[in-house]
Structure 1
Amino acid sequence: MGAVMTWAAGNMLTIAGISGAIAFIIILLLLLRPDIRQVPLSRRRPFENESRTAVTVAAERLTSVIDKVAARRGHSLAERLDIAGVKTPLAHVVILTFSAMIVMVALSLLMGSPMFAVLSVPAIPALLTVWISLRISKRRANFALQLDETAQMLAGSLRSGYSFPQAMLTVGKEASSPTSDEFIRMSNELRVGRPLSDAMEHTARRMESEDFAWIGQAVAINREVGGNLADVLDNVAHTIRQRAQLRRQVASLSAEGKLSAIVLVALPFVMIAMLSLINPTYMGTLFTHPVGWVMIATGAGLLIAGTFWLRKTVEIKF
Structure 2
Amino acid sequence: MADLGLLTLGGTVLGGGLAVAGVHSYLSGRAQRQALVDRLADDGPPPPVGRPRRFAALDRRLRATEAGRRLERRLASTGLDLTPGEFVACTAGVAIGLWVVAAAALAAFFGPIAALVAVWAAFGYLDWQRRKRIEKFINQLPELSRILANATQAGLALRTALGMAADEMEAPAGEELAKVAARLAVGHSIDDALGELAERLPSRELVVLVTTLVLSNRAGGTVVTSLRNLTQTLEERKETRREIRTQLSQVTITAYVVPLMGVGTLLLVDRIAAGSVERMTSDFWGQAAVVVAFGLYGLGFFLIRRMSKIDV
TM-score (norm: length of structure 1): 0.72
Gaps of 5+ in 1: 1-39, 47-54
Greater CA radius of gyration, 1 or 2?
A: 2
Does the 8 Å contact 2:62/2:84 carry over to 1?
Answer: no
How far did residue 200 of structure 1 move?
1.1
Whether the 8 Å CA contact 1:63–1:94 is kept in 2: the answer is no
The answer to whether the Cα contact below 8 Å between 2:141 and 2:206 also exists between their aligned partners in 1 is: yes
Per-residue CA shift, 1:254-290, capped at 9, x if unaligned?
3343333333333212333444555544445445565
1:1-318 alignment runs, 5 A limit: 43-44=34-35, 57=57, 60-62=60-62, 64-65=64-65, 68-69=66-67, 76-107=70-101, 113-286=107-280, 290-318=284-312
1-structure distance, mates of 2:62, 2:122? 17
For the 8 Å contact 2:165–2:177, the answer to whether it is kept is yes
**Is the 1:168–1:183 Cα contact (8 Å) retained in structure 2?**
yes
Secondary structure in 2 matching 1:176: coil
> How far is the alpha carbon of 1:217 from its aligned partner?
1.7
Q: CA deviation at 1:216?
A: 1.6
How far apart in 2 are the matches of 1:239 and 1:45? 39
1:24 matched residue in structure 2:
none
Please say if residues 259 and 297 of structure 2, whose CA atoms lie closer than 8 Å, have aligned partners that are also in contact: yes
The answer to whether the 8 Å contact 1:200/1:213 transfers is no
CA RMSD of aligned residues (A): 3.1
1:131 and 1:42 map into 2 onto residues whose CA distance is 35
**Distance of aligned partners of 1:116 and 1:282 in 2 relative to their CA distance in 1, 3 Å threshold:** closer
Q: Name which of structure 1's ranges 253-262 and 308-317 shifts more when overlaid on structure 2.
A: 253-262
Farther-moved stretch of structure 1 (146-155 vs 88-97): 88-97
Distance 1:242 1:226 in 2: 27
TM-score after normalising by structure 2: 0.73
Measure the CA separation in 1 of the matches of 2:145 and 2:273.
59
Secondary structure in 2 matching 1:114: coil
Amino acid aligned to 1:60: R
Identity across matched positions, percent: 18
Task: Give the 3 Å change call, closer, same or farther, for CA 275–42 of structure 1 in structure 2.
Answer: farther
Cα distance in 2 for residues equivalent to 1:294 and 1:251: 38
- CA separation of 1:125 and 1:261: change in aligned 2, threshold 3 A: closer
Q: Please name the residue that 1:30 is paired with.
A: none
Post-superposition offset of 1:158: 2.7
The question of whether the paired residues in 2 share the 8 Å contact of 1:105 and 1:120 is answered with: yes
Which residue identity lines up with residue 195 of structure 2 in the other structure?
E
Q: Describe the shift of the 1:199–1:114 C-alpha distance in structure 2 as closer, same or farther (beyond 3 A).
A: same
Task: Quote the offset at 1:187 in angstroms.
Answer: 0.8
Once residues 220 and 45 of structure 1 are traced to their aligned partners in structure 2, the CA distance between those partners, rounded to angstroms, is 27
Following TM superposition, by how much is the alpha carbon of 1:94 offset from its aligned partner in structure 2, in angstroms?
2.0
**Kept after mapping to 2: 8 A contact 1:204/1:210:** no
1:209-263 CA distance string (max 9 Å, x none): 2212222222222223323423221111111122223323333443343333333
Check the 8 A contact 1:152/1:237 in 2, yes or no: yes
Q: Structure 1 residues 181 and 274 mapped into 2: Cα distance closer, same or farther (>3 Å)?
A: farther
Residue type matched to 1:85 in 2?
G
CA distance in 1 between counterparts of 2:36 and 2:253 reads 51
How much has 1:112 moved relative to structure 2? 8.3
For residues 270-318 of structure 1, what are the alpha-carbon distances to aligned partners after superposition, in whole Å with 9 as ceiling and x for unaligned?
3334445555444454455654432221111111212222222222234
Partner AA of 1:303 in structure 2: Y
What is the identity, as a one-letter code, of the residue corresponding to 1:125?
V
Aligned residues: 265
Gaps of 5+ in 2: 1-30, 38-54
Deviations 1:91-121 (A, max 9, x none): 2222222333344445556668432332244
Shift of 1:184: 0.8
